[in-house]
Amino acid sequence: MIRLKRWFLIGCAVFAPAVVKGGDYQGNCCAGNISVGADFIYWKPCLNELDYALAISGDLGIESQGSYRCLDHGYEPGLRVFAYADDAFCGWGAWGNYTYFWAKTNETSVLAEGENLLSTLATGEFNLGTASEIRAKHSLRYQTFDALLYHEYECFGPSQLLIPYFGISGLKLDQTLASHAISNITPDQFVDLRWDSEYRGLGLKLGTEYRTALPCNLQWFFSGSFTILAGVDEADYTLENREEQEAVRFTIKDRENMCQPGLHLASGLRYDLHLCGKVLKLHAGYEFLNWWNVPKIRRLNVSGEDLFLDPSTLSNGSNLTLHGLFAGLELGF
């Protein structure tokens, strides 16, 4: 009986709307304020295995040294829009957001004296051997949406809030990786590679945010969430070896079910400003996102009539990290 009473009290603490910030519960399940806002984001994407060339100096097979040439993304701008309603469902708030981020990078490696330049993307029959020049580029278009419910609890007094949330999350990730290698022996011979990937995933998100009051009407906040998605990746992979008017082309179409765990951490400051009966909220900070098992290109070896996967890259899963600054505002009605 004592155990049953304890669980009953816990249930009352979770679902009682009176503990929600915003005053005493008056019996109206749709009485919350609505706020809309937008964030400017400035992120740097980091992906595993974006090498496209290997530069080797010295005598091959005797004594030589090499270094990989990799594509490296810089910081790029993006946008996040959101809206939420306090007390939308009997003490629970509703929150939705959409994020758009696009990044691209390209690099060129040119053969230097006393050096061998090899492509790491085109292997086997499609490898030219030493190339005079290798160009490569990569782009990604990252879009997410969340539809969440949240609850605000006063923690150790009204100056501190704990806001757990949960709901549905989706990810749309498009990638393109391409390279162009020109033979050092036969200038009219070159190898082109292109990989296009379209991933769509849907799943669940669970997280919490902590806020504490600071002087001068400031608040410090920290939030963390975990997401698990199930989705489908559809990819096209094309290799072409062309010499003058003759060409050898190899194409793969890949469709695979994939699961993506995700982690999102953010911290920063908030400032509330009251203007003409409206509340203008400003915020800025730093955030870190990581997605595991995102699609990546498969490395292939082609030799004669045999085709096989490179043993070092049997998996087509990689990690995607996005990190950087954000700053935005929201207006309450």
**Residue 8 belongs to a domain:** no
Q: Which pLDDT score is estimated for 125?
A: 59
The percentage of the chain sitting over the pLDDT mark of 70, rounded to a whole number, equals 81
Summarize the confidence of residues 102-117 as an average pLDDT: 89
Sequence-ordered list of residues with C-beta below 8 angstroms from that of 241, at least 6 positions apart, any chain: 122, 125, 126, 128, 189, 191, 247, 248, 249
Q: Which pLDDT score is estimated for 164?
A: 96
**Residue 25 belongs to a domain:** no
Using the predicted structure, report yes or no on whether residue 1 has a pLDDT greater than 50.
no
**Residue 22 belongs to a domain:** no
**Residue for token pair 């580029």:** 137
Of the candidates 284, 299, 281, 181, the residue with the CA atom closest to the CA atom of residue 237: 299
Q: Which pLDDT score is estimated for 311?
A: 45
Range scoring the smallest mean pLDDT among 10-24, 162-176, 277-291: 10-24
Rounded alpha-carbon distances, angstroms, from residue 231 to 18, 168, 170, 201, 322 = 39, 14, 9, 4, 20
Summarize the confidence of residues 235-250 as an average pLDDT: 80
Summarize the confidence of residues 80-108 as an average pLDDT: 92
**Residue 256 belongs to a domain:** yes
Using the predicted structure, report yes or no on whether residue 17 has a pLDDT greater than 70.
no
Rounded to 5°, angle at Cα 228 from 263 and 150:
75
Q: Are 151 and 163 in contact (CB under 8 A)?
A: yes
Could you tell me how many helices (H) and strands (E) the chain has, helices first? 1, 16
Summarize the confidence of residues 58-87 as an average pLDDT: 86
Using the predicted structure, report yes or no on whether residue 61 has a pLDDT greater than 90.
no
Residue 120 or 136, more confident: 136
pLDDT band at 4 (very low <50, low <70, confident <90, very high): very low
Using the predicted structure, report yes or no on whether residue 139 has a pLDDT greater than 50.
yes
Using the predicted structure, report yes or no on whether residue 69 has a pLDDT greater than 70.
yes
Using the predicted structure, report yes or no on whether residue 8 has a pLDDT greater than 80.
no
Structure tokens at 203: 């799943």
pLDDT band at 126 (very low <50, low <70, confident <90, very high): low
CATH value at residue 177: 2.40.128
Rounded alpha-carbon distances, angstroms, from residue 237 to 79, 103, 183, 185, 332 = 30, 21, 21, 26, 48
**Residue 16 belongs to a domain:** no
pLDDT band at 136 (very low <50, low <70, confident <90, very high): very high
Residue 91 or 198, more confident: 198
**Residue for token pair 């998996």:** 315
Q: Which pLDDT score is estimated for 123?
A: 65
| Cα 106 to Cα 102: distance, rounded to the nearest angstrom | 14
pLDDT in tens, 251-306: 888 899 999 999 999 999 999 887 776 778 999 999 999 999 999 888 765 554 45
Of the candidates 236, 263, 266, the residue with the CA atom closest to the CA atom of residue 252: 236
DSSP symbols for 80-130:
EEEEEEEEEETTEEEEEEEEEEEEEEEEEEEPPTTEEEEESSS-GGG--SS
**Residue 161 belongs to a domain:** yes
**Residue 315 belongs to a domain:** yes
CB atoms within 10 A of CB 327: 13
Q: Are strands 131-150 and 92-110 parallel, antiparallel or unpaired?
A: antiparallel
Phi and psi angles of residue 17, each rounded to the nearest 5 degrees, phi first: -65, -15
Q: Which pLDDT score is estimated for 60?
A: 62
Q: Are 153 and 134 in contact (CB under 8 A)?
A: no
Count of domains forming the chain: 1
* Domain enclosing residue 92, as ranges: 40-323
Using the predicted structure, report yes or no on whether residue 24 has a pLDDT greater than 60.
no
Range scoring the smallest mean pLDDT among 22-26, 59-63, 185-189, 241-245: 22-26
Q: What is the mean pLDDT of the chain?
A: 83
Summarize the confidence of residues 20-26 as an average pLDDT: 38
pLDDT in tens, 173-232: 999 999 988 887 777 788 889 999 999 999 999 999 999 999 988 999 999 999 999 999
| Cα 117 to Cα 98: distance, rounded to the nearest angstrom | 43
Q: Which pLDDT score is estimated for 239?
A: 84
**Residue 14 belongs to a domain:** no
Of the candidates 185, 139, 150, the residue with the CA atom closest to the CA atom of residue 21: 150
pTM of the predicted structure, to 2 decimals? 0.83
The percentage of the chain sitting over the pLDDT mark of 90, rounded to a whole number, equals 49
| Cα 218 to Cα 195: distance, rounded to the nearest angstrom | 47
Q: Which pLDDT score is estimated for 261?
A: 96
